Structure 1
Amino acid sequence: MTAAVELDIRVVEQFLYREARLADEHDYDGWEALWTDDGVYWVPANGDDIDPTRQMSVIHDHRRRIATRIKQLKTGRRHAQVPHSRLRRMVSNVEILGTDQGGDVLVGANFVLVESRERGTELWAGRYTYRLRLVGEELRMAFKKVALVDNARVLPTLAFLI
């Protein structure tokens, strides 16, 4: 049995809660530090099981693009986020779904996020799917998919970390 298989669900939950808090508090450096060097961040559009190389996605970032997104958010010139949205999310129904052939832990969780802006309040909900990897003794995200409940409709500006 690999170290990944032996992970306690509480360790996984604490990692997901920390990731949510860092995103909610706009701690971009802390959030970015949670990624592996080969990480992929994906928010599909028009369905949950599309092929992101052939169909449109809301976000489909490899690791360098994640870094670029973070730099843009930190400039203060991303007009859709001036001032920053006030964010709070709840993460629930956390499940360890198994491991992949490389030993990464497959995790699923539901979320509800409240975004408060000058234009009003938006409610976002969906399902997170992660591939988490032990790097040394720390968990890191190798993959994060955000399947929004309403991803087939016209979405308001998504200019924060979902």
Structure 2
Amino acid sequence: MGAVSEELYRDVSQFIYREARLQDTHAYDDWEALWDDEAIYWVPANGANPDPEREMSFIYDNRSRIALRIKQLKTGKRYTQTPPSQLARVVSNIELLDQEGDDVRVATNAMVYEYCGRGETVWATRNEYELRRVADGFKMKKKKVVLANNDKPIFTLSFLI
């Protein structure tokens, strides 16, 4: 990607930071509102680029499945999230990869600290976003979260990674 305007970089960074805050504070409705109608939320298993249509993923949700996931989290009956995990996320290495019209591809790294009834876990991730600029900011068309240890057995991902 060629030269990136400071304004675009700032706007994308603020969007990514806001999304992280909404996840960490369990602001489910506000987080869901960040998604485009064409949304894909993907957390692959066993590598960075398996075929999600042919191989297992931890999460591979379309827009309606994202809404159902949020609805389930809000019932209070997700026992692995009763009480909800305490989360703190650090996002870094925000890199704009490509821009085509109103669409921007972005990569980030993140460390997510989770404290819950079973103890403490630190999750390391490499994230890829496809964002679409809209009148009031951005919408997520796609979010791919590659866990650094996704080839190993993991604890439940019952919170929003």
**TM-score range with shorter-chain normalisation?**
over 0.9
Report the equivalent of 1:69.
69
Report Cα offsets for 1:8-32 as digits up to 9, x if no partner: 2111110000000000000000000
CA distance in 2, matches of 1:118, 1:77: 15
Report the equivalent of 1:143.
142
Alignment of 1:41-120 (within 5 A): 41-100=41-100, 103-120=102-119
What's the secondary structure of 2:68's corresponding residue?
Answer: helix
What's the secondary structure of 1:8's corresponding residue?
Answer: helix
CA distance in 2, matches of 1:124, 1:62: 23
CA distance in 1, matches of 2:106, 2:136: 18
Give the TM-score normalised by structure 1.
Answer: 0.93
Alignment of 1:3-22 (within 5 A): 8-22=8-22
Report Cα offsets for 1:49-101 as digits up to 9, x if no partner: 1000000000000000000000000000011100000000000000000125x
What's the secondary structure of 2:50's corresponding residue?
Answer: coil
* Pairwise CA distance, 1:103: 4.2
Q: Which stretches in structure 2 are left out of the alignment for 5+ residues? A: none
Report the equivalent of 2:154.
155
CA distance in 2, matches of 1:74, 1:137: 26
* Pairwise CA distance, 1:104: 1.4
Give the TM-score normalised by structure 2.
Answer: 0.94
Instruction: Give the paired residue count.
Output: 157
User: What percentage of aligned pairs have identical amino acids?
Assistant: 54
CA distance in 1, matches of 2:102, 2:19: 21
Structure 1 ranges of 4+ moved more than 6 A: none
CA distance in 1, matches of 2:12, 2:126: 16
- AA aligned to 1:118 is G
Please give the root-mean-square deviation of Cα atoms over the aligned residues, in Å: 1.2
CA distance in 1, matches of 2:26, 2:96: 27
Q: Which stretches in structure 1 are left out of the alignment for 5+ residues? A: none
What's the secondary structure of 1:51's corresponding residue?
Answer: coil
CA distance in 2, matches of 1:48, 1:93: 18
CA distance in 2, matches of 1:34, 1:67: 12
- AA aligned to 1:68 is L
